[in-house]
Structure 1
Amino acid sequence: MKHATRPSRVLSLLTALALLAPPPALAAPAQDAKALAAFEAGFTEGQAKFDRGEHLEAARTWIEAAANLKETTANRDNRAAVYEYVVDAFTRGLQGEKRPEALREAAQALDAYCEGFTRAYGTETPLSPKIVAARDEFKQRLAEAEAATAAEKPPVEDKVEGPEELPPPPSDDLPEPKPWKGLAIGGGVMLGLGVGAAVVAGVGAARVSSLEKQVDDPANMCVLAMPSPSCQDLLDRGKSAQSMAIAGAVLAPLLVGAGVGLLVVGLKRRSSPKTAFAPALGPGFAGLSLRGSF
């Protein structure tokens, strides 16, 4: 359809819409009148956009305007005429277009109209050949554009499976271990525990001496054969203090001795050289041997 005949078609469509308006005695419901007014306003707005060369915007405006009219027998011819205008607008607006998203909009819009038409009237009522031809053309152009876009994408390289990467070997620059440190630390801990045990023994012995004086004090009148409750409490506390003093006295020398021994061994290992030369003598030879310590 050529643009030169558009004014006469617009006039014909507006005349048909005017004939759809019911007489005052049989006025349509307010909702239908509002929908018809919205359709007329949208159609006029789309025509103005088309005349300004805004073809894609005109197509979208006409599609929105046609949505105000239900797909019924009374509206069938008007909706078909509007979608033929939509075809003209898409054809001009998408001339030479290669982007899939732009072509998809036209193909989906015309396809939706054709499906709604068939649902409403069945396959016995033929669709507009112009709309069907435009829909098929846009679908074909869309498929070609999508194929071209897919071909332009760089292929995804398959990851070649190879041997699993092993962790790097340990570096030779790591600091050498210092075995003497553990001995020195252990010796210091043992020595501290020994000193603590000696303190416990001293405290226990002092408490035993103090409690003995309280039991022997005539003022407390303590009889060992039949001690009073207060005297029995002094005796129990004395036994606990005595046990504490004995345990401290036994553990203190053991812990101190072990701590001192570990410290001595650790300090000796720290001061001793790792390597040393020693004379080597044997049948028929004499020389030096290199000895290492670990």
Structure 2
Amino acid sequence: MHNGDKYSLTQDSQVIEGLRAEIEKAEPSKRARILEKFLLAALSSIPWVGGFLSAAESFRAEAGTNRLNHLQTEWLKEHQKKIGILGQALEEIANRLDGLGDEINERVQSEEYLALVRKAFRIWDESDTEEKRRLLSNVITNAAGTRVCPDDVIRLFLDWIKIYNEVHFAVIREIYQNPGSTRFDIWTELYGEIPREDSSAADLYKFLIRELSTGGVIRQERDINSVGRFVRKRTRHVRKGTTPATLESAFEDTKPYVLTNLGKEFVHYTMNEMVRRISTDTVNDQSKS
């Protein structure tokens, strides 16, 4: 390993300690202790962090003895990248929490919130895309600063981030931005040309819509009565001899889709760079409608 690699590894192995030092230097001691609880909860949920710091310490002690084999060296290099990404994410969240003011102090120290942090960073560690990691960071920040949803719902949002992927999130964004979009509208806006009905792309699209519908994120638009109950649509009677010769298209263009209220709250908690904020009053109004 080159000397440059040794120096870089030594630096990156100190990222976590550096985060704590920066917080203590910049903030009053009480605030530092509050944010430290958040950092410790996040780090305790990721098993390899302790192993990396221990291995990095051994590396510093044995750097001149050539006792590390190739596999150990490659493991350190790989986790060197991961610790850098983790350190940056933790620093950004801590800065955003700090910007929310003292009113969140009690919330950030609560065991309920710290349990959410631990769950979020277990999922964060398993996520293989920047998109998912960004959504998780947003959930944790917004869960500290706003209480539109109870913590049980926040845990559901974390599970959605774990099981869904970027194409699911793209459909959710499109329906949020354009409520009442049909499956044809969503596809053409995201991908353009309509593929064949028997293609793998059509199969995947039907699967995405079905997962989001059964998962309670999206639904077909329906009329409601004065007490908020959905009105049953009248069944259309088909005359004999007029039965369609083909099945309904994956890209059907007559049935509009909207986000459920739960889906709208998911957008609020996870995609705030795009949505900014859905106020408590707005969500409450929507839940009554």
Shorter-chain TM range is under 0.3
Larger RCO, structure (CA 8 Å, separation 6 or more)? 2
Larger radius of gyration: 1
Q: Give the alignment's TM-score, normalised by structure 2.
A: 0.24
**What's the TM-score once normalised by structure 1's chain length?**
0.24
